[in-house]
Structures are given as C-alpha cells and as structure tokens.
Structure 1
Amino acid sequence: MPGVPRYWYNLTADLPVPLPPLVDPLDEEESRIALLARILPSRVIDEEYTLSRTLRIPEEVRRAYERAGRPTPLLRAEGLERALGVSGRVRIYYKFEGALPTGSHKLNTAIPQVYYAKLDGAVEVVTETGAGQWGLAVSTAAAMLGVKATVFMTRSSHESKKPRRLAMKALGARVVPSPSTETRAGREALRENPGHPGSLGLAITEAVEYTLSGERRRYVPGSVMESVLTHQTVIGLEALEQLPEEPDYMVACVGGGSNFGGFTYPVIGMKLRGEGFEGTRFIAAESRAAPRLTRGDYRYDGLDTGLTLPLARMYTLGRSYVPPPVHAAGLRYHGAAPSLSLLRLLGYVEAVAYSQEEVLEAAAVFARAEGILPAPESAHAVKAVMDIASKAPAGSVIAFNLSGHGYLDIDAYEAIESRLVSGELKARG
C-alpha cells in the first residue's frame, strides 16, 4: 500500500497558458495584494506564487497526515455497479476522504496552513465556513498543533448544522454566526437585512476583518486559492498509486474547487505533459443553487463580498450573490478557483449542475449500495457518476472523489424522508 506522498503537485507549472494573476481593485487606494502579507501565513503566499511543479511536504505535516489517517482508501464500488445494473460493463472506483477524522478532505490543507501560521508566531487562526467541513478541519488542526481557532460560520448553516458547530466547540474553537455584530461588514449586512442567511463571501470578509483587528492572528483560506488546491493534491497523488487501471472519467463536486483539484490535478498535469491519460474526461459537478461553472461569467471578481481580498479571474456569479440556504452549503461559493476556471475555459474540464433533491436521492442509492452515506456536497459527484455510468460505453472506468461522509449532515435527508421510508428511491441515471 502506498504511503503519504512526500511532495504536493502544483498544476500552475504545467498550464498551457499563464494563470491570470490576482490583482488589486482599480478604484481602491490600499493594495489588497500587499494585505495578503498581513493576514496569510507567509509560506502560503510563497506557495501561491511559485512556479515549481512539486513542493516538498514538511515532515511535521506528513506525520500529522499519517496521524489523521492518510493515505485514505480507494475502493471499488461493486455494490453501486450492481444497483445501477452496469456490473460487467462499467467499473467504478471512489477515493474515500470521509475516512479522515473530520469526515472530509478539508483537513489536507488545514494541517499545513495552521502549521505555517504557528511557524509565523500566530497564536490564533481565523477562517470562514459554510456547512462546517472546513471549520471543523481548522478546529481539528488547531487542536492538534496547539493554537486557538475562530470560525465565522454562515448563519443558515450555524442554525442547521448543529452537530458540526458543537464538534468545533468541543475541539476548543470559537464559532461565530455570520453575519455577526463583531465586524463592521457583519453589522452592515444585518442592518440591510436582519434575516440575512449568510454567504461564504461575507463570512470571508468578516474573518479577514477580524484577523486584522488583533495581534498574532492569521487567516487560513479553505478553497479557491492555488496553494489550497496544491495541498489537496495528496488525494490525487495517492489515487495514482492506488488505481488499478486508467480511468475514462474522473469526477468530483465543486465548491471553490479544492477537492476537485486535489483529486484530478495530478492526472490533468500528466495529460498536459503528454504522459498519459489522453482519453480521460474530467467532470465537475456543482449545485444549481450556485452554478458558477455552468452559468457564471469568466471575469475578474472579488474573492469576498467586501473586497478585502484581491480580485481573481474566475467563473463567478458575482461576489454579492447570496445563494439559497441549501444543505450542500459547501458548494454555495460565488466563484471557482482561477486554475479550475481556466481549465474549464480551455475545455479540459466539463461541468454539470444538479438540484438538491436529485443529489440526495443519488446519495441514498449510494448509501444502500455501498454502506456509506455521502455528504450532500459529495452527493453531486455521486449523481454525476450515476448519469455517466448509464450512458458510458462498455468497458468504461469511472473514478470519483467521495470527498466526505454525511453523518453530520443527516438533517439534509429529511427532505426525502418519505421516499426513503417508502423505498421509492431507485438507482436511475
């Protein structure tokens, strides 16, 4: 069995065209690029701008990965194949990141970022979270490495995702519903809309503002930034060692892009370098509640609602977009990572969007076939796999990233409770 990789992979080195850089807003006096040095761990900034193809994983981080349960398993979905009626015609594999103690892939970047923050002398890390996977990962990494954590959690999720909120607090984190009264941005949002459900863009603005208001704090981003996607490539690098055959399709859900990039980028890099996988297709599955890659515009936009961070060129619905409070809150971000957006623009990545009900139904089918309940976010990938399997040519191989389990999202399944009880759900594509 392969061990934990010793290097992360940086896709930027292999892109066919240069990645559009982060830029400052034209009408703002203060440089947002310069601001990054005041809020981010210094090594995150170094990784954000490097053109090196591989980045050595610090041994302290590798040991923490091992303690957390890496490498994660790659499994054959034989039960799902039978449920879909494709046994002997299509083979399906999944990388199970839900095996990590936080239940999702997010720990892969939380550990190095908190480690880097501690090296910089920080005693507190600050972040935002939607459904809570990222907040729980940061809380766990902070507990492992001995620093404090403050998490601004979108208000709708703060109310509906009680298990994750309580888990973060049990680990010692302070969890603040966003919009909050602790920041200027939060107070303004509440003044305009007292019932504001929150958004990731606004929670980021609050987290950055709070970071700047105190000493020895560092902000740790959960997705979108290239350094985050680079950390997540431990997923794909392990999968390359574990897969028994070359996949025709690689599938993952997309919020900001970290789990999709982590799973697919090492293979996309090989394809770009002409080292194999010429026929592999890469499918990004997103929520219809925030359909950036399928309906967004490719342009420069703010990474957060309040423009406290630089502008990134990406597929976006607009930084002020407030998506409906669906259960797959991790997919509610308004934009997608610049590298993923560029790959989508150039045609290397395809995208599909699904509604909440159909992905939860797909998740229930997967759970009854494989014995694992997917997170609502990961269920988008499951639905895409089911659709692909129903139409793929005989002999096709599908690999997907099951980026998290759904045992802390069980409230989501109330939406289809009657159909679960009646047994009405069917494995359909």
Structure 2
Amino acid sequence: MTAALPTQWRSTLPYLAEPLPPDLTPESVSGGAVGVNLPLELVRQSVSSREYWPIPDEVRDAYRTFRPTPLWRATGFERAIGARVPVYMKYEGGNVSGSHKLNTALAQAHYYRKAGVKELVTGTGAGQWGTALAAACALFGLRCRVFMVESSLRRKPYRGVLMRMLGAELHTSPSGLTQVAARRTEGVGNSLALAIGEAVEYASTHDGVAFSIGSGETYSILHQSVIGIEAQAQLAEAEAAIDTVVGAVGAGSNFGGIALPFLAEARSTGAPLPTLVAAESATAPKLTRGVYAYDKTDATGSGPMEAMYTIGSDHPIPDAHAAGLRFHGAAKLISALRHTGELDATAVTQREALDAGRLLTRHEAVLPAPESGHALAAAAKLATTGADGLRAERGVLVCVSGHGYLDLAAYEQLLTGELGDEAPTEEALLRAVSGLSPVRPGAPLLTGGLR
C-alpha cells in the first residue's frame, strides 16, 4: 500500500479534553533555576493549539530516503495467532537508525542548527535514538555525543559501532564524566533516566551544546505523526477498516505517532474514535501500575517536573531486553490522554514480546525489535482472545517501530530458554512513588493504573 509523503505534521493539542498540566520548574520545586536551551519553534510546537505544522523542506527531503514507510495486511501473522480480524502492520525499521526515531531526530537537528547549536548530546537505552540522532547530526553538520545505558551497549555493541561510524562520540552510562553518575545509587546503572541525566548535565556545562531527547516531549510526538498520517491514507487506499490501534510505549513517541492522528481525525470529524492501546513493558509498567504524579524526567532532577504516569524516577528498573521501554514515566501528553480515558494500556512480558517477534519473523519475514514485539504481543491478544477487557472487532493496526537485527542476543536467549522476566512488586512501587505529588491535589497515590 502506497501513500504520498506528508507535507505537514498534525498536533493533537487542539483536541485535548483539558489543557496539559503545567510543568513545575526546579525553582518552584527546590529553589534552583535551570536554563533551557530549546529552539523557539520546538517550544511553540509543544504549547500551541495550532493543528497543522509544515514540515521544513530540508527535513522532508531527508524523509524521502525512507518515507512513506510500508503498510501491509499481515495474513501470515494472522494465521499463526488465529486472528478473528485483520491485522495491519506499519513498518518503521527501514532507515539507517532501524527505527521510527529518525522522524524526530531529523526535525530536531534542523531546528537546533537554525538556532546556532554546534553539538547535540543525548541519552539512549536500546540505542535506536542515539543512532537516529547521530545520523541526523551527520546530515545537518552537527557534532553528536551519546550516553548509552551500559547493559544495553554490552548486549548490542554494534549499536555503538554504528553511532561511531556516523561520527558520534559514545560513552557508556554510568560514565566517569558527570556528577550525576558519580552520585548514582545501586541499580541505576541500567537506567535510561541516568543516561539522560548525564546528557543533560553535560549539555548544561559546555558552550554551544544542547540536550536533545527523542521520545517524551510533545514536539517529538508531533514529528512522529507522519506515521499515523501515512497509515490513514494507506488504509483508505486499501478500503481497510480497523477499530484498534496499537503501539509500544517507552515514553510515548512511537505510540503517539501511530495513534494520535486517529484521535485528531475522530475529534475533528465526529467519527468514532478507535481503541488506542499502549503496550508497555511489564518491567516498567507506568501506565498500568503507576501513579499520575509530578516526577523528574531524568536522574539530575534539574529539568522541569512533569505530570506523568510514573513508577518513580528512583525506582531501580530490572535489566531487560525491552531497553527502549525501560523508562520510569510516560510522556505528559500520553499520560494526560490516559488520565482522561482516551487511551488504554496493557503490560507485556519480554517473553511474550519476543515470542510475538519470532512469529512475525517466521510468518512475515520481518525481524522486529524487542520493543516492537510488545506491540505485536498486544495486537495478537486484541485480535484473538482480548487483553485487559479490550478486544478488536473490525481490525487492528500495529506499529512495528524498528528492526531487531542488532537484538539477536535477546532472541538467542529466547531460543535457548534462558529468557526470564522480573516485574516490580507492589511494595517496591509504593516505596518509589511515596514522595511524589499527585497531579490532582488531594488525589491519593495508588498503584494499579490510577486514572
């Protein structure tokens, strides 16, 4: 199924039931201010009620090397799972980063270069975002520095090789370069929050350097709307009907990209809203077992406190192959929609995710990343027996957000029976969120997907 390359991104902000809760600055939280080095256009994209945003010509030119991305009906996968309804796949792995992350990396590199920034620095979990930013910086003539979660880089050393080939300076996290790493506590070595915190600290102490993040910010979710916009056109061309949209959630850009254009279209036309299902890792179950509270976005605590579904930024998240999903909180836009009941969530174990990935490999000849396997496992349940009270009745659209060619060590553990799962206990979650402030004053802090 083909589609024209979109000329505009589409925002969901005009259709929120209520405005996003304001961030709490470090000054209002702890008496210390912090400077924010963010291009004004990205600020506007995060707060404006404008619905459509033109994609800059040089960003669109870069998109042409891999967009539009393919969408197809996965009949082999349907037969393998015994689906009752059609399952459609939107595949985002066909670019140098191997994932959807390049959609926003290119846009951010464009805006930061226009703002006079010389180097972008970031933290990355599975390495997809670090690779995407390295590629975007190479194309737009910027230096790039990446802090990657140590356990992920150990498992996927060739992610590091690819980033270095693209010209990036790569550091394992925890590194020896930052104070936040020196102050780390036990268990934080596998933390994406720490890698992000190191990048934030590094950017704040070096001239001409800016921190760039690829998933949780409202502007990055806007840039990902090209996924859902293309999918809508491709489904219409095929005269295909779906009533459920599924994407994996770390912070929320891939899910937001595939799902939120459907929300905007439904709100603007009065059409029925499909069921939007966020598939998260059972090792970091913020949307299904977390609380809606103000929490840190990184380990430094120097950035704004944001309203999010969270399991606590200080919670030591277990090591798992769902590296890109191993983040303590969901994006404030995704969290707000969860809070108002406009999206649903389900938690998936890594064994379920990799089993689903193996099925896709065998029956569709596409090897998905473990993160994408979470969305596939959720889609399989929704198309068959149902999950968490949800079941598709007409068809399922699922975003396969990246390829798994650099994740074969995870699949090897699945094949040899060495794969395990570790979900947080209720007691551990309660400890991790006990000091947080609820977004709604007076609301109790309870785990279990508080809405």
Shared fold (TM-score greater than 0.5)? yes
Q: Kindly indicate whether the alpha-carbon contact (under 8 Å) linking 2:188 and 2:194 is maintained by their aligned counterparts in 1.
A: no
Q: Name the CA distance, whole Å, in 2 between partners of 1:399 and 1:10.
A: 20
Q: Name the CA distance, whole Å, in 2 between partners of 1:418 and 1:10.
A: 44
Q: Name the CA distance, whole Å, in 1 between partners of 2:311 and 2:211.
A: 24
Matched length: 409
Which of 67, 70, 73 is the aligned partner of 1:73?
70
Q: Kindly indicate whether the alpha-carbon contact (under 8 Å) linking 2:97 and 2:128 is maintained by their aligned counterparts in 1.
A: yes
Q: Name the CA distance, whole Å, in 1 between partners of 2:21 and 2:301.
A: 18
Q: Name the CA distance, whole Å, in 2 between partners of 1:47 and 1:40.
A: 11
Q: Residues 33-56 of structure 1: CA distance to partner in whole angstroms, max 9, x if unpaired?
A: xx22xx323322222222211111
What does 1:208-219 correspond to in 2, within 5 Å?
208-219=200-211
The match for 2:433 is none
TM-superposed deviation, 1:28: 2.3
Amino acid at match of 2:127: G
Q: Name the CA distance, whole Å, in 1 between partners of 2:33 and 2:392.
A: 55
The reply to whether residue 200 of structure 1 matches residue 201 of structure 2 is: no
The match for 2:289 is 295
Amino acid at match of 1:402: V
The match for 1:150 is 145
Amino acid at match of 1:356: Q
TM-superposed deviation, 1:271: 2.1
Amino acid at match of 1:216: G
Identity across matched positions, percent: 42
Q: Name the CA distance, whole Å, in 2 between partners of 1:40 and 1:204.
A: 16
Q: Is the partner of 1:390 in helix, strand or coil?
A: coil
TM-superposed deviation, 1:373: 1.0
Structure 2 gap segments, 5+ residues each: 419-451
Q: Residues 2-59 of structure 1: CA distance to partner in whole angstroms, max 9, x if unpaired?
A: 2221111111111011111222143422334xx22xx323322222222211111111
Q: Is the partner of 2:246 in helix, strand or coil?
A: strand
RMSD: 1.7
The match for 1:310 is 304
Q: Is the partner of 1:309 in helix, strand or coil?
A: coil
The match for 2:381 is 387
Which of 130, 133, 136 is the aligned partner of 1:138?
133
Q: Is the partner of 2:196 in helix, strand or coil?
A: helix
TM-score, normalised to structure 2, is 0.87
What does 1:23-42 correspond to in 2, within 5 Å?
23-25=24-26, 26-32=28-34, 35-36=35-36, 39-42=37-40
TM-superposed deviation, 1:196: 4.7
TM-superposed deviation, 1:106: 0.2
The match for 1:221 is 213
The match for 2:227 is 235
The match for 1:13 is 14
TM-superposed deviation, 1:395: 6.1
TM-superposed deviation, 1:294: 0.3
Q: Kindly indicate whether the alpha-carbon contact (under 8 Å) linking 1:246 and 1:277 is maintained by their aligned counterparts in 2.
A: no
Q: Residues 235-291 of structure 1: CA distance to partner in whole angstroms, max 9, x if unpaired?
A: 00111110132311100110000000000111011223343233x211110001100
Which of 250, 254, 262 is the aligned partner of 2:249?
254
Q: Is the partner of 2:190 in helix, strand or coil?
A: coil
The match for 1:178 is 173
Q: Residues 176-199 of structure 1: CA distance to partner in whole angstroms, max 9, x if unpaired?
A: 11111111111222xx44x75231
Q: Name the CA distance, whole Å, in 2 between partners of 1:49 and 1:149.
A: 27
The match for 1:427 is none
Q: Name the CA distance, whole Å, in 2 between partners of 1:390 and 1:2.
A: 29
Q: Name the CA distance, whole Å, in 2 between partners of 1:236 and 1:58.
A: 19
Q: Is the partner of 1:290 in helix, strand or coil?
A: coil
Amino acid at match of 1:6: T
Q: Kindly indicate whether the alpha-carbon contact (under 8 Å) linking 1:223 and 1:257 is maintained by their aligned counterparts in 2.
A: yes
Q: Kindly indicate whether the alpha-carbon contact (under 8 Å) linking 1:91 and 1:395 is maintained by their aligned counterparts in 2.
A: no
Amino acid at match of 2:30: E
Change (3 A) 1:7 1:272: same
Structure 1 stretches of 4+ with a deviation exceeding 3 A read 392-395
Q: Residues 328-366 of structure 1: CA distance to partner in whole angstroms, max 9, x if unpaired?
A: 100011100111111111111111101111211111111
The match for 1:324 is 318
**311-320 vs 20-29, greater mean Cα deviation:** 20-29
The match for 2:406 is 408
What does 1:324-403 correspond to in 2, within 5 Å?
324-391=318-385, 396-403=394-401
TM-superposed deviation, 1:102: 1.4
Q: Name the CA distance, whole Å, in 2 between partners of 1:234 and 1:251.
A: 16
TM-superposed deviation, 1:63: 0.5
TM-superposed deviation, 1:416: 1.3
TM-superposed deviation, 1:394: 9.0
Q: Kindly indicate whether the alpha-carbon contact (under 8 Å) linking 1:41 and 1:218 is maintained by their aligned counterparts in 2.
A: no
